[in-house]
Structure 1
Amino acid sequence: MSSASTSLKIPSFEDVQAARQRISGAAHRTPVLTSRTADGIAAASLFFKAENLQRAGAFKFRGAYNAVAALDQSSRRNGVVAFSSGNHAQALAYAARLQGVPATIVMPTDAPEIKIAATKAYGAEIHFYDRYTEDREEISQRLAAERGATLIPPFDHPDVIAGQGTAALELIEDVGELDLLVVPLGGGGLLAGSALSARALSPVCRIVGVEPEAGNDGQQSLRKGEVVHIPPPKSIADGAIVTHIGERNFAILKRTVDEIITVTDAQLVETMRFFAERMKIIVEPTGCLAAAAIMHGVLPCPGARAGILLSGGNVDLKAFNTLLGTR
């Protein structure tokens, strides 16, 4: 990490607790689901935190609402700008609308149509870019500067990280201390926030992040001890298609996370199928990352009490049906 990044504000568990107060009454306290069949497959006691049932369809609402709620009145008037492939876009658009704040979202042209439609429906202005030839962060910074708006990135932001940490906080409050917490990993907001909560509430818990095999920048970063940048990966886990982990996020991950592993797109599809057929819920590919690692034996945990974050359920039904039609 660069010397400049050491001056960045790194959130703490106290910030997660403050976020819980801010989002109370706005974010859903999502249920924790269990399945005897899943327990049998893993030979463990599994607790699925169903953020696919969160407002705007993903955990992202927590961090987005917290970040907007933390703005002063002048910043609220000038609006917010974000970049996202979909879930943060929807979450910030919805959170901003609920709080009367104008929002502009920079989205890739190949973002899932359902996520584009929802972002528009929440009242945000959308600015499209090509994820393989253009820099979304540069575009977003320029737009924010031109409009005097506040840039709220999808993961490398203290209030976003703190908000995301409330999901694991609720999970551990509901089921008690865990032996293992498994969390999807894209830019690192959910994993970093979850780690803050787990280390405070279940200190001996093993914490593992899971990312798509095609984009293992997080795994490389943890092994190397510094943030590793990769070309834009291609995976059905569109919410985890990032080129690097955020600096704030990595500052937390490198001291709290035990391991980062990967799963294949085929394993994600089979996990989606399990949730649809056996648990009667729709979980998007990215949302299945953590569960896939357990269900397919990539992360064996016999006898463990394991918490698993299902991060979102925003998947186009045509794409969902197409994916589940393949084996």
Structure 2
Amino acid sequence: MVGLEAIRDAARRIEGQVLRTPVARSEGLTQAAGVPVLLKLEHQQTTGAFKLRGATNAVARLGDVAGVTTASTGNHGRALAHAARARGMRAVICMSSLVPDNKVRAIRDLGAEARIIGGSQDEAFLEAQRLEADEGFALIPPFDHPDVIAGQGTLGLEIIEQIPEAAAIAVPLSGGGLLAGVAAAAKAMRPDIRIIGISMERGAAMAASLAAGQPVEVRELPTLADSLGGGIGLQNRLTFPMVRDLMDDLILLTEDEIAAGIRHLALEGHVVEGAAAVGAGAVLAGRLRGPGPLVLIVSGANIDPATHADILRAA
């Protein structure tokens, strides 16, 4: 388990390198939920997603290495590329063919090498492992790593500092790094706070693993919440047990419910990707009602513009 001390250390380590993102009240979602709904606007982070926190913390703790590598559905890769460039390090980001082109381009724009490997996150991860074993790269996984979890946990610290009366936090759930970190921080300071994981019905690996009682492989499927795709790793050491022990509830959304969340947040002035809209989608679908105040983590803005336009037109 990654604890509060490690998360506070991470907060001191990354201070000045990541943004302290704002909080905004959503009147529309408050009306739908029947309790105050507050949005933690992490999509305004420098690289457009919360992943910069964990990547920056992990890179800051590295010694002398040939470079850094990872497997990513896009946002962690972009964050790692940003953190590596800040330290003058080489970065090779391995991704599957399911990663949207806009996320691949953003990684290359930061000077990193983007390698497209196979049709799943697990296949891409094998290439990252090869780079670690054969070429001396530091492999920084997107979630199952103590420094990454601690970095993501700084978001939980901020939420409790900004909204001390929060009764529940809804967290987009994929590999579990964000939920594990946020829950570890929030529950250490507020043991009564509820942590609600939200993912998609199509290929949610953590949900399938929790149901099986152990990490399992799940076929990756195209989804509007593309950054929630990918496996959790059959050798998962940290995020699976932390999510299992710290999460109070789990909600899985249909594609139509995710799209509704994207459209609603756009009406409130927030252009976000599918993963960032799952909290809003759950509220609008009547699946998430409280307790309140309810905090929704709006996790990322990196949606393909054409996809976003199509979703808005389909309303």
Q: In structure 2, what is the Cα distance between the partners aligned to 1:22 and 1:89?
A: 20
**8 Å contact kept, 1:291–1:309:** no
**Aligned residue identity for 1:320:** H
- Among 115, 120, 130, the alignment partner of 1:127 is 115
Equivalent residue, structure 2, for 1:149: 137
Matched, 1:50 2:46: no
Query: What does 1:167-316 correspond to in 2, within 5 Å?
Result: 167-244=155-232, 246-277=236-267, 279-301=268-290, 304-316=292-304
* 1:28-67, Cα deviation, whole Å (9 max, x unpaired): 0000111222211111111111111001100000000110
* 1:46-94, Cα deviation, whole Å (9 max, x unpaired): 111111100110000000011000112x13xx11111112101111000
**Aligned residue identity for 1:275:** L
**Aligned residue identity for 1:161:** I
Unaligned segments of structure 1, at least 5 residues: 1-9
SS of equivalent to 1:282: coil
TM-score under structure 2 normalisation? 0.95
**Aligned residue identity for 2:247:** V
- Among 53, 56, 59, the alignment partner of 1:65 is 56
Matched, 1:25 2:25: no
Unaligned segments of structure 2, at least 5 residues: none
**8 Å contact kept, 1:222–1:260:** no
**8 Å contact kept, 2:74–2:104:** yes
Q: How high is the sequence identity, in percent, across the aligned residues?
A: 37
Equivalent residue, structure 1, for 2:5: 14
Which range is displaced more, 126-135 or 158-167? 126-135
Deviation at 1:290, TM superposition (A): 2.3
Matched, 1:138 2:129: no
Equivalent residue, structure 2, for 1:4: none
**Aligned residue identity for 2:287:** V
**8 Å contact kept, 1:184–1:191:** yes
**Aligned residue identity for 1:68:** V
Q: In structure 2, what is the Cα distance between the partners aligned to 1:207 and 1:110?
A: 29
After TM superposition, the runs of 4+ consecutive aligned structure 1 residues lying more than 6 A away are: none
SS of equivalent to 2:171: strand
Q: In structure 1, what is the Cα distance between the partners aligned to 2:216 and 2:47?
A: 31
Deviation at 1:133, TM superposition (A): 9.8
Deviation at 1:260, TM superposition (A): 1.5
Q: In structure 2, what is the Cα distance between the partners aligned to 1:13 and 1:222?
A: 24
Equivalent residue, structure 1, for 2:313: 325
* 1:201-260, Cα deviation, whole Å (9 max, x unpaired): 221011110111112332233344322321113311110111236431012112211122
Cα distance change of structure 1 residues 156 and 132 upon mapping to structure 2, 3 Å threshold: closer
TM-score under structure 1 normalisation? 0.91
**8 Å contact kept, 2:208–2:218:** no
Deviation at 1:12, TM superposition (A): 1.3
SS of equivalent to 2:47: helix
Deviation at 1:134, TM superposition (A): 7.0
**8 Å contact kept, 2:96–2:123:** no
Matched, 1:35 2:26: yes
Task: Give the superposed CA RMSD.
Answer: 1.6
Deviation at 1:143, TM superposition (A): 1.6
